[in-house]
Amino acid sequence: MTEKTQSDDKRLVVVSNRLPIAVGEEAGQWRIKPGSGGLVTALAPVIKARQGLWIGWPGCGEGPPLDELFDNFGREQGYRLAAVPLSEEEEERYYRGFSNSALWPLFHDLLGNCRFRGDDWQTYLEVNRRFADVVASRTGEDDLVWVQDYQLIMVGAQLRELGLRQKLAFFLHIPFPTHDLFRRLPWNREILTALLAYDLVGFQTLRDRRNFVNSAIALIPELQVERRQRAQTLIRYQGRIVRVGHFPISIDFAEFNDAARSQEVADAAWYLHENLEGRQVMLGVDRLDYTKGIPERFRAFERALEKYPDLHRNISLLQVVVPSRTQVPDYQDLKQTLDRLSGRINSRFGEPGWIPIHYVFRSLERTQLLAHYRTSEIALVTPLRDGMNLVAKEYCAASVENNGVLILSEFAGAADQLGKHALLVNPYDVEGTADAMHRAFTMPGEERRRRMGMLRTQVRRYDVHHWVRSFLGALSTGTQLP
Ligand code: ADQ
């Protein structure tokens, strides 16, 4: 930030479903490790500089001595943690139920996967209220509270009910659907009015922001759109001003770029490619999720192999899938579909010495992940819908050879920033995606370098630190309206 503003001095309190830690037992001792996701990397320095607090579910049962572990963590990391425990039943109804079987599919335009249940909604309200109680008991008037994502939308409104008047901000990491879809949610007004309890509501893209504003106008006649600016829409609701903006999240470019250049990663990358005998590697890295379009990608690869014989023996699709939400039935079905499809394609096209699809179902360590990014000639990021998609940005930052081709879904938030220099595809269009795979495979070196150079510049310039600064900056600027 260029100038010091009021919000810069406030203590920052981040509230998210999961705390940015992993609690585990090593040699009979409970240990706590800091998480390594993009959000922690971005927020840790800011929260540390403001002696802040992070509130969330620790992701473990009642076994570990959390108070003691949190004290140690606070001393080592420079910010504090506070836990909101969840029972098994709450995990089922609030997390797997309302959050991941109602809001998640609906917000990703997948109405067919939605399960709207009154019980789940009640538990969602109760758990959000528990988060709000912890926030209220641990914060004061001078704090800035920043709530993260769809699991905790109601927290702001519940804090207002508890009488909190301090600044409250919210960021939605997933898309916001069109009004036509959003109105199917039985609790649509409750969700919208809860979002309007914050001072600032941030979305990933301009489209998400517009979708939200359109739904709010349609469903809440009492509100007034006060001003529409490029950076923000100002809404007047119940005598308050709510700022609505879009802030595309990103990654720590420098960190990825530097790590990808290390000798350790270079060696791992070399080894990986050696095992694939000089073929081009087309990489997919995704959490197991039906929004990521993995079966559609496999079908497009199958079509590409039917259509373009020059791909045979000269390319392999390396698909890494991280197990996720494996207790939700839709995710179990997806796993089976992937097993079946990859088996079918490999048995149909494979030859001795060439496996078309290498399919790995596990998380990768960081060095391995970076090696995969660095060594792959092509990355396939083809979600059916995605808030942003950090894999696309990580691939660019780690493509230090500057010759990778990014095939990117037009329905990923990342397409707004990267679409011009990636090969954009509609993941529902099997034929078009197959053609893009072949185009990437045959793309001349010069064009690859030009495109990847532009992509890297974009990701470098708008990194995650820029994201934090612009979000917090939006909270600080000109709160007064004429
Ligand atoms: P996600 O849906 O989890 O995030 P994404 O943005 O792609 O999706 O982030 C996934 C993260 O997991 C990446 O940082 C990636 O490195 C890591 N990862 C994926 N596969 C891995 C593997 N096999 N091994 C190790 N690590 C792996 C949600 C939204 C997104 C939004 C982010 C951030 O759904 O749209 O971009 O939040 O706002």
Question: Tens digits of per-residue pLDDT, 411-459?
Answer: 999 999 999 999 999 999 999 999 999 999 999 999 999 999 999 999 9
Indicate whether 299 pLDDT > 80.
Answer: yes
In a domain, 416, yes or no: yes
79 with 171, same domain: the answer is yes
310 part of the active site: no
Both 409 and 470 in one domain: the answer is: no
The tens digit of pLDDT for each residue in 9-39 reads 689 999 999 999 988 888 888 999 888 776 8
281 lies in which domain range? 253-461
Classify residue 243: in a domain, yes or no: yes
Q: Say if residue 34 is in the same domain as residue 176.
A: yes
Assigned domain for 120 exists: yes
The answer on 245 and 290 residing in a single domain is: no
Ligand 1 atom nearest to CA at 37: 14
Dihedrals phi, psi of 322, to nearest 5 degrees: -90, 125
What's the N-to-C CA distance of the chain in angstroms?
25
Q: Is the pLDDT assigned to residue 188 strictly greater than 70?
A: yes
Q: What is the pLDDT of residue 1?
A: 34
Q: What is the pLDDT of residue 482?
A: 36
* Averaged pLDDT of the chain: 93
What percentage of the chain reaches a pLDDT higher than 70? 97
Residue of 40, 146, 389, 418 to test ligand 1 pocket, by largest number of atoms within 8 Å of CB:
389
Shared-domain flag, residues 84 and 226:
yes
410 CA to middle of ligand 1, Å?
A: 17
Is residue 421 annotated as part of the catalytic site, yes or no?
no
Q: From the CA of 425, how far away is ligand 1's center (Å)?
A: 20
Q: pLDDT category, 8, cuts 50, 70, 90? A: low
Q: In terms of domains, do 130 and 50 share one? A: yes
Q: For the ranges 61-65, 167-171, 292-296, 381-385, which has the lowest average pLDDT?
A: 61-65
Q: Which of 108, 173, 246, 273 is catalytic?
A: 173
Tell me: pLDDT of 481 over 80: no
1 assigned to some structural domain: no
The ligand 1 atom at the shortest distance from the C-alpha of residue 324 is 3
Q: Rounded to the nearest whole angstrom, what is the distance from the C-alpha of residue 336 to the centroid of ligand 1?
A: 21
CA 37 to centroid of ligand 1, rounded, Å: 8
Pocket test for ligand 1, best of 285, 365, 380 (most atoms within 8 A of CB): 285
pLDDT in tens, 86-135: 999 999 999 999 999 999 999 999 999 999 999 999 999 999 999 999 99
Same-domain check for residues 329 and 471: no
What mean pLDDT comes out for the span 305-332? 92
Domain assignment present for 195: yes
- The residue whose C-alpha atom lies closest to atom 15 belonging to ligand 1 is 391
Instruction: Tell me: do 227 and 278 sit in the same domain.
Output: no
Q: Phi then psi for 371, rounded to 5 degrees?
A: -65, -40
Per-residue pLDDT averaged across 162-177, rounded?
A: 96
- Tell whether 449 and 471 lie within a shared domain: no
21-26/29-34 β-pairing:
antiparallel
Q: Half-sphere exposure (CA, 13 Å, Cβ side) for 270?
A: 7
Least confident of 11-15, 158-162, 329-333, 390-394: 329-333
User: Both 348 and 219 in a single domain?
Assistant: no
Ligand 1, residues at Cβ distance < 6 Å? 38, 173-174, 249, 285-287, 320, 322, 363-364, 369, 386-391, 394
Considering only 23-32, 242-251, 360-369, which range has the smallest mean pLDDT? 23-32
Question: What's the CA-to-centroid distance between 471 and ligand 1, angstroms?
Answer: 20
Burial (CB count within 10 angstroms: exposed 0-12, middle 13-18, buried 19+), residue 456: buried
Atom number, ligand 1, closest to the C-alpha of residue 320: 23
Strands 224-228 and 232-237: antiparallel
Is 274 or 447 the better-scoring residue by pLDDT? 447
**Number of residues that this document lists for the chain:** 482
SS3 state at 378: strand
3-class state of residue 144 by DSSP:
strand
- Give the Cα separation of 202 and 70 in Å (integer): 29
ipTM for the predicted complex: 0.97
273 pLDDT tier (thresholds 50, 70, 90): confident
The one-letter code for the residue type at 452 is M
Q: Kindly provide the residue ranges of all beta strands, DSSP E only, lying in 1-110, ordered along the sequence.
A: 12-18, 21-26, 29-34, 53-57, 80-83
Do 181 and 277 reside in the same domain of the chain?
no
**Structure token digits, residue 306:** 């039917």
Residue 288 lies in a domain: yes
Distances (CA, A) of 363 to 59, 60, 285, 322, 427: 18, 19, 10, 5, 24
Of the CA atoms within 13 Å of residue 252, those in its CB half-sphere come to 15
One of 386, 421, 435, 463 is an active-site residue; which one? 386
pLDDT band per the 50, 70, 90 thresholds, residue 7: low
Establish if 389 belongs to a structural domain: yes
**Residue 303 is encoded by which pair of tokens?**
């079509």
As a whole number of angstroms, the distance between CA 177 and CA 386 comes to 11
Pick the atom of ligand 1 nearest to 392's CA: 7
The tally of domains found in the chain comes to 2
Residues 242 and 259 in one domain: no
CATH number at residue 32: 3.40.50.2000
The CA–CA distances, whole Å, from 315 to 18, 49, 77, 249 equal: 39, 47, 44, 32
Express each pLDDT in 336-357 by its tens digit: 999 999 999 999 999 999 999 9
Please check the confidence at residue 5 and state whether its pLDDT lies above 60. no
pLDDT at 479 over 60: no
The answer to whether residue 481 sits within a structural domain is no
Mean pLDDT over 202-221 rounds to 97
